[in-house]
């Protein structure tokens, strides 16, 4: 969701006709990062962090974020490793103390069963092959580890809000794809992952004003603006 | 290095060559001895991209810059790019 807001923020300011996701992050890394300090961005970020952290008591290590971006989430969540295909954002993540590697989620450069916790936060909607990313995440996950996904479900009014606002020609919406809960469950099924816990936040109607803080609700609410889903390997 | 594997064939362990080092490795090379793919470390960041995202225009100058320190096998047979034509 943060990315979509960022997309709106940039709307009309640049010629985006020749940009792809990796390139966008390369070129606009600094502005993307600064967006998190703006009133709406900050309020949404705090809600999303609270939602994610409600899913575990202690973070298993080593931990990895796929699509680490500028490292905002990884820094606060104390995630050790971050991978992203955009080199522009990785410099920021590195300054935030994260060990960064440039690479692609579909082809992770890690040994099998290396990580105790893996985070994929508002990233699945931007990857080329989500099933491959989940397969790879599962491969590098320890048998006792968990993967936490952070996303906006297609059923959410917030997804509609962004889709509507992204008018014709906005390349961000051409490359982004929201998945329904059914689609997500089918992808997890295929990749031998099961949902063990979920948490939802942002229940206000879509707005651009800063959001009030509230505690996340246990479970996966289709109307929420952000859901965090904890998955583990099926045995 | 203790968790890095080749993104293509997942071979482990990989070989590390250090060219410039301060507190961290500033420039260096990571090599998969199995498939002979090489991955640059630039600005302290290891770049482990699959072939289709590699850029010959950025990678060949890197090989040339450090050719004295890079194993001949990689210079001649490295993937996805090498200096065979230029040697």
B32-87: per-residue pLDDT in tens?
999 999 999 999 999 999 999 999 999 999 999 999 999 999 999 999 999 987 54
Residue with tokens 């999303």: A48
> Is residue A31 scored above 90 in pLDDT?
no
Is residue B1 in some structural domain?
no
Is residue B42 in some structural domain?
yes
For chain B, the domain total comes to 1
ipTM: 0.95
Is residue A5 in some structural domain?
no
> Is residue A203 scored above 90 in pLDDT?
yes
Of A91, A94, A110, the CB nearest to B5: A110
* Closest CA of chain A from B71, distance in Å: 22
Contact indicator for B58, B42 with CB cutoff of 8 Å: no
For chain A, the domain total comes to 1
Task: Compute how many other C-beta atoms are within 10 angstroms of the C-beta atom of residue A129.
Answer: 13
Contact indicator for A133, A124 with CB cutoff of 8 Å: yes
Q: What is the spatial distance between Cα A221 and Cα A204, in angstroms, rounded to a whole number?
A: 13
Q: What is the spatial distance between Cα A132 and Cα A104, in angstroms, rounded to a whole number?
A: 11
Q: Which residues on A lie below 8 Å from B10 (Cβ)?
A: 111-112
Cα B67–chain centre separation: 11
Q: What is the pLDDT of residue B85?
A: 72
Q: Which residues on A lie below 8 Å from B46 (Cβ)?
A: 101-102, 109
Per cent of chain A over pLDDT 90 is: 69
CATH number at residue A195: 3.40.50.150
Tell me the whole-structure pTM to 2 decimals: 0.90
Is residue B5 in some structural domain?
no
Task: Compute how many other C-beta atoms are within 10 angstroms of the C-beta atom of residue A68.
Answer: 30
* Closest CA of chain B from A69, distance in Å: 14
Is residue A157 in some structural domain?
yes
Q: What three-state secondary structure class fits A170?
A: coil
DSSP A38-61: SHHHHHHHHHHHHHHHTT-SS--S
Is residue A4 in some structural domain?
no
Long-range CB contact pairs, B39-43, < 8 A, 24+ = B39/A109, B43/A91
Is residue B63 in some structural domain?
yes
Domain hosting B44: range is 15-86
Domain hosting A86: range is 20-233
Q: Which residues on B lie below 8 Å from A81 (Cβ)?
A: 3
Is residue A122 in some structural domain?
yes
Q: Please, which pLDDT band fits residue A25 given cuts at 50, 70 and 90?
A: low
User: For the segment A178-192, what is each residue's pLDDT rounded down to a tens digit?
Assistant: 999 999 999 999 999
**Minimum Cα–Cα distance from A102: chain B residue:** B47
* Closest CA of chain B from A141, distance in Å: 12
Is residue B10 in some structural domain?
no
Is residue B6 in some structural domain?
no
What's the rounded mean pLDDT across residues A14-18?
43
* Closest CA of chain B from A127, distance in Å: 14
Residue A24, CA distances (Å) to A1, A20, A126 in order: 16, 6, 12
Q: Among A116, A109, A173, which Cα is nearest to A144's?
A: A116
- At residue A22, φ and ψ (nearest 5 deg) are -60, -45
Peptide bond into A62 cis (omega under 30): yes
Hey, are the CB atoms on A103 and B43 less than 8 Å from each other?
no
**Minimum Cα–Cα distance from A94: chain B residue:** B45
Average pLDDT across chain A, whole number: 88
> Is residue A163 scored above 90 in pLDDT?
no
In the 8-state DSSP scheme, what is residue A154?
Answer: T
Q: Does B46 touch chain A (CB under 8 A)?
A: yes
């Amino acid at each position: 969701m943060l990315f979509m807001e960022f997309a709106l923020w940039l709307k009309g300011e640049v010629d985006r006709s020749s940009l792809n996701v990796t390139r966008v992050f390369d070129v606009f890394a600094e502005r993307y990062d600064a967006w998190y300090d703006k009133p709406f961005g900050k309020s949404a970020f705090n809600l999303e962090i609270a939602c994610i952290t409600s899913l575990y008591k202690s973070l298993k290590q080593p931990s990895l974020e796929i699509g680490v971006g500028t490292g905002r989430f990884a820094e606060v969540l104390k995630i050790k490793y971050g991978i992203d295909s955009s080199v522009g954002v990785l410099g920021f993540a590195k300054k935030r103390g994260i060990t960064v590697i440039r690479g692609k989620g579909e082809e992770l450069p890690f040994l099998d069963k290396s990580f105790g916790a893996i985070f994929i936060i508002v990233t699945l909607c931007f990857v080329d092959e989500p099933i491959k990313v989940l397969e790879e995440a599962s491969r590098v996950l320890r048998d006792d580890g968990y993967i936490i996904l952070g996303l906006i479900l297609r059923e959410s009014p917030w997804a509609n809000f962004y889709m509507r606002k992204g008018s014709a020609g906005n390349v961000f919406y051409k490359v982004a794809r929201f998945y329904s809960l059914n689609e997500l469950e089918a992808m997890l099924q295929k990749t031998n992952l099961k949902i063990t816990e979920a948490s939802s936040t942002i229940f206000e109607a879509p707005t651009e004003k800063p959001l009030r803080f509230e505690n996340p609700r246990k479970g996966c609410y289709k109307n929420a603006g952000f859901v965090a889903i904890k998955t583990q390997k099926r045995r | 290095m203790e968790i890095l594997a080749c993104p293509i064939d997942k071979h482990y362990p990989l070989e590390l060559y250090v060219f410039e080092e301060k507190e961290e490795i500033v420039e260096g090379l990571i090599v998969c001895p199995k498939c002979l793919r090489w991955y640059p470390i630039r600005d302290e960041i290891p770049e482990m991209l699959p072939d289709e995202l590699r850029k010959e225009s950025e990678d060949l100058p890197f090989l040339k810059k450090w050719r004295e320190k890079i194993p001949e096998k990689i210079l001649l047979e490295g993937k996805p790019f090498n200096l065979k034509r230029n040697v």
